[in-house]
C-alpha cells in the first residue's frame, strides 16, 4: 500500500497545506482512536506538543477527533517526544500523540503516534490507520463522547524519570553546562534535570514564542552553543532539537561531538561495565565508517539499518541491543527509554564526564572519522532517482569507491530532498564523487 500520510517518522508537512491541516488532524484522531478502541475499559490518549504556533490548532483538532469517537484525552502541554512515550506507558493509556516536526522550521508540523507500550507504531498499525483516515468513522453516542483534561505535573514526572538514568551516587557538582533547547519542547525540563543533579546551567533557546523553534539554535544550528561554551568557559555544551529526541554535544573547545561519537562513548562504557546488550550498536547507513572500525577494534559490532530511528529501534528490539542511534543525534538507550531521548543521552554523557575526570575534548572524541560529505539536492516534483542518467552516475561512483569507501543515496522522508553521502579514506575522491552525483540529480530534477 502506498502511504499518503505516514512518512519515516509519523505524519509531517507544511502547516495548513497538504496533510497538515486541522481537518486532517481531526480525521487522524478519529482513525487512530477507532483503531485503538480495544476492550471494554474507558480508553485514553495522551497528547503532547512542542512550541510551534500551529500546535494549538493541531492539538484542538486532534482532541476533537479522539473525543468524537469516544476516547478520553489527557493533554500535557509542551514536552519532549520521549516524555509522551513515557507517560503513555506509565498512565496506562491506549495511545500517545506528539505534535511536532522535530528539527524542521516552525512553518512545519507533524504527528507522531505511540502505542500503549510507549513504542512508535508498527508498519501494520500505521497502514491500518491510513486506511481509516479517508473513511467515515462511526461516532460515539452522545453519552459516550470522550472527555479532555490537562495535567499539571507532567514536567515533574518526566524530570524524575530521566534522572533515574544516572547512578544515585553520581552528581554533576563542579560542571558548568550550556544547555541549548532550540526554543523547543525541552525548554523547561532539560535545564531543570541537569541543574537538579548539581550542575551550573547556562541556558540558550529557552524563550519560545511560537515561531522561533530551531531558529538559529539547537542541534541543527550549533554556532550559538559553541560561542556560549567558549565565552562562558563551560565544560560542555548540550544541544537538543525541537522535540528533544536528539542530542549533539560541544566540547569545552567548541568542537562538535556528533551521534556517532556519543554511541561509541556509551557503548564502550557499558561494555566495560558488562551491561552492553547485543554485543554492539545499531546505527543507520549514514553512520561514519570510522565508528564501525572503532567498534570492531573493541570487539563490538555495528549493525546498520535504513535511515530513521524507527528502523534502528526495530533492529534493537529484534536483536536484543540496548544502544543505538543516528549520527544526527538520535540516541536510543533502551534501558532508560522506548524512543530517542536527547535529555537521557545528555545525562549519560555528563555522568561519564564526571566519572572520568577528563575534559570533554579528551573523553568524547573516541575515533577519527573517515572523510565524509553529505549534500542535499532539492527538487520540486517527480522521482530524480529513477532517471537513467542518475542511475548510471551512481553505478559509476559506486564502482570508483569499491573497497575504499561507501556511497549512500536516498530521498528524504520528510522533505523534497535527495541526500547524497559518500565517505572514504581519500577526501578529494569523496568530494568528486558527491559533486558528480549531485550534478546528475540536479539535472534530472
The values of phi and psi at residue 13, to 5°, are: 180, -175
Cα gap 395→261, rounded to integer Å: 30
Q: Is 102 a catalytic residue?
A: yes
| Residue among 61, 55, 94 at smallest CA distance from 76 | 55
Long-range contacts, 2-6 (Cβ 8 Å, 24+): 3/126, 3/127, 3/130, 4/130, 4/134, 5/129, 5/130, 5/133, 6/126, 6/129, 6/130
Cα gap 26→28, rounded to integer Å: 5
Question: Of 54, 100, 102, 352, which is the active-site residue?
Answer: 102
Question: Helices then strands (H, E): number in the chain?
Answer: 14, 19
The values of phi and psi at residue 419, to 5°, are: -95, 125
Provide the H-helix boundaries in 45-170.
55-68, 81-90, 123-133, 154-163
Cα gap 222→365, rounded to integer Å: 17
Which residues are known to be catalytic? 102
Amino acid at each position: 500500500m502506498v502511504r499518503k500520510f505516514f512518512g519515516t517518522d509519523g505524519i509531517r508537512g507544511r502547516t495548513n497545506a497538504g496533510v497538515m491541516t486541522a481537518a486532517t488532524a481531526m480525521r487522524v484522531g478519529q482513525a487512530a482512536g477507532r483503531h485503538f478502541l480495544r476492550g471494554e475499559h474507558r480508553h485514553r490518549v495522551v497528547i503532547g506538543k512542542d512550541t510551534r504556533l500551529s500546535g494549538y490548532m493541531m492539538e484542538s483538532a486532534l482532541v476533537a477527533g479522539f473525543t468524537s469517537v469516544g476516547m478520553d484525552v489527557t493533554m500535557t502541554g509542551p514536552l519532549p517526544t520521549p516524555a509522551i512515550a513515557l507517560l503513555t506507558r506509565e498512565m496506562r493509556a491506549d495511545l500517545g500523540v506528539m505534535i511536532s516536526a522535530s528539527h524542521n522550521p516552525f512553518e512545519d508540523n507533524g504527528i507522531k503516534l505511540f502505542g500503549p507500550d510507549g513504542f512508535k507504531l508498527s508498519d501494520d498499525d500505521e497502514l491500518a490507520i491510513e486506511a481509516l483516515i479517508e473513511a467515515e468513522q462511526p461516532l460515539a453516542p452522545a453519552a459516550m463522547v470522550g472527555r479532555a483534561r490537562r495535567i499539571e505535573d507532567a514536567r515533574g514526572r518526566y524530570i524524575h524519570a530521566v534522572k533515574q538514568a544516572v547512578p544515585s551516587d553520581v552528581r554533576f557538582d563542579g560542571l558548568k553546562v550550556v544547555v541549548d533547547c532550540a526554543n523547543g519542547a525541552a525548554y523547561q525540563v532539560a535545564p531543570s534535570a541537569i541543574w537538579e543533579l548539581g550542575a551550573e546551567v547556562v541556558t540558550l533557546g529557552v524563550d519560545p514564542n511560537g515561531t522561533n523553534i530551531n531558529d538559529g539554535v539547537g542541534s541543527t544550528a550549533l554556532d550559538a552553543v559553541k560561542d556560549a561554551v567558549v565565552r562562558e568557559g563551560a565544560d560542555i555544551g548540550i544541544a537538543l532539537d525541537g522535540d528533544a529526541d536528539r542530542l549533539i554535544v560541544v566540547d569545552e573547545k567548541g568542537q562538535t561531538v556528533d551521534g556517532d561519537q556519543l554511541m561509541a562513548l556509551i557503548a564502550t562504557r557499558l561494555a566495560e561495565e558488562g551491561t552492553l546488550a547485543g554485543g554492539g550498536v545499531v546505527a543507520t547507513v549514514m553512520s561514519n565508517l570510522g565508528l564501525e572500525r572503532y567498534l570492531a577494534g573493541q570487539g563490538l559490532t555495528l549493525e546498520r539499518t535504513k535511515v530513521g530511528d524507527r528502523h534502528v529501534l526495530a533492529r534493537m528490539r529484534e536483536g536484543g541491543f540496548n544502544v543505538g542511534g543516528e549520527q544526527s543525534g538520535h540516541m536510543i538507550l533502551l534501558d532508560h527509554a522506548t524512543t530517542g531521548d536527547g535529555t537521557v543521552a545528555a545525562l549519560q554523557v555528563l555522568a561519564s564526564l564526571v566519572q572520568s575526570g577528563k575534559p570533554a575534548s579528551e573523553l568524547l572524541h573516541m575515533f577519527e572519522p573517515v572523510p565524509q560529505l553529505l549534500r542535499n539536492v532539492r527538487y520540486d516534483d517527480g522521482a530524480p532517482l529513477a532517471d537513467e542518467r542518475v542511475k548510471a552516475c551512481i553505478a559509476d561512483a559506486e564502482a570508483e569507491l569499491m573497497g575504499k569507501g561507501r556511497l549512500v543515496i536516498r530521498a528524504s522522508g520528510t522533505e523534497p530532498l535527495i541526500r547524497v553521502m559518500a565517505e572514504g579514506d581519500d577526501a578529494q575522491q569523496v568530494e568528486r564523487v558527491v559533486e558528480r552525483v549531485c550534478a546528475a540529480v540536479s539535472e534530472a530534477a
